[in-house]
A and B are shown apart, each in its own frame.
Chain A
Amino acid sequence: MLSGLSHEFVEDFRKIYAARDIAKIGLYLHDNVEWTISGPVEYLRFCGTHRGKAAVIDLLKHRIPTVLRTFRFEPESVVVDGNHIAMLHRQSSRRTIDGRVANYRVANFMQFEGGKLIKNLSLLDTFDAVEQLLGQRIQIGNSSSESSEYADVVAV
């Protein structure tokens, strides 16, 4: 592993991020931080790329909680290499408008510069997240032609 972030530093940050302690998260953010959440903006309105410390704090403090509030963020894997972190968490959130619960995995790839977070990319199982938050299966228009390819396949 290259010299860079210590595991202690990463774990301190991870716990603060898991707790969504926005004031403390802000201390770790680079002024020019770029924060991207990959997903359908039309249904998960916080998805997209957010640039600058103020925009990211607004994202974490206001825009995401408008849609959902995370109450559990359990680590499954944390990989630290140089100034990069890859984290895999099991996230549990409640839809803000009615408390409906959704559970899904989230991957974060983070890059630090001078001890500050300069870049984050979040990937999550957005299909599953949207279904859970809607509380219903997404009806796929032509799924029959897709599924017919796999008539003998048992889902696991």
Chain B
Amino acid sequence: MGRSENLGNVTREWVEAFNEAYAGRHMDRLASLLHDEVHWVISGPVDLMPFCGERRGKPAVLDMVGRIAARQFVAVSFAPELVLIDGDRASTLCRATGERAMNGRTIGWRLAQFMRFRDGKIIEYCSVIDSFDAAEQVLGHAIELDAGESLGQRDAVAV
């Protein structure tokens, strides 16, 4: 981690522009906001959601957004709930919705995004979602695990 000495550069407008370009797949605009050496991580099951995983460099990120993610979702939108700015870092909590390319079904998830900027461009990006829920929505049904498996006491009360 570590806070950069280059404080005060990120603006809310940059973050909003990024969200619009990323969700809307405005590729030229998105390219202008990414650093050439961007490190990009989306936490989630790569087998089921191939846009998840780790990518390095602008071409790999643009390929993910413009080709790989587009094959799964024909349209995506982000509705920000929180936008936090702190020096060269930003974080957003968004309600994301996506229309599945396969069947037109719309699914929704909460998206945590963490970004670090250098020279006005994103050099680090990491997003986290409740991927179990997202996977169930992508599949269109609940994931049933072996009843013999337990990750907690069976007498615990769910909340």
Contacts and interface: CB of A to CB of B under 8 A. Distances in A.
B84 A128 contact: no
B68 interface: yes
Interface residues of B, number: 55
Interface in A127-148: 127-128, 130, 133-134, 138, 140-143, 146-147
A84 B133 CA distance: 26
A87 to B, nearest CB: 9
Contacts of B112: 86, 88, 107, 109, 123
B82 to A, nearest CB: 6
Interface string B49-67: 0100111000010000000
B71 A128 contact: no
B128 interface: yes
A19 interface: no
A129 to B, nearest CB: 8
B91 interface: yes
B86 A1 contact: yes
B126 A123 contact: no
Interface string A101-116: 0001111010000000
Interface in A24-56: 38-50
Contacts of B133: 38-40, 126
Interface residues of A, number: 59
A81 interface: yes
Nearest to A89: B1
Contact of B153 (A45, A123, A138): A45
A82 to B, nearest CB: 8
B114 A49 contact: no
B157 to A, nearest CB: 8
A43 B102 contact: no
A109 B82 contact: yes
Interface in B15-69: 43-48, 50, 53-55, 60, 68
A141 B144 CA distance: 9
B86 A45 contact: no
B79 interface: no
A88 B82 contact: no
For B44, B68, B131, B150, the residue with the greatest tally of chain A CB atoms inside 10 Å of its CB is B131
A49 B159 contact: yes
Contact of A126 (B132, B141, B158): B132
A154 to B, nearest CB: 9
Interface of A: 1, 7, 38-50, 63, 66-68, 75-81, 84-86, 88, 95, 97, 104-107, 109, 121, 123-128, 130, 133-134, 138, 140-143, 146-147, 149-150, 153, 155-156
Nearest 9 CB-CB pairings of A with B: A86-B91, A107-B112, A48-B159, A126-B132, A81-B84, A125-B43, A127-B131, A155-B46, A45-B152
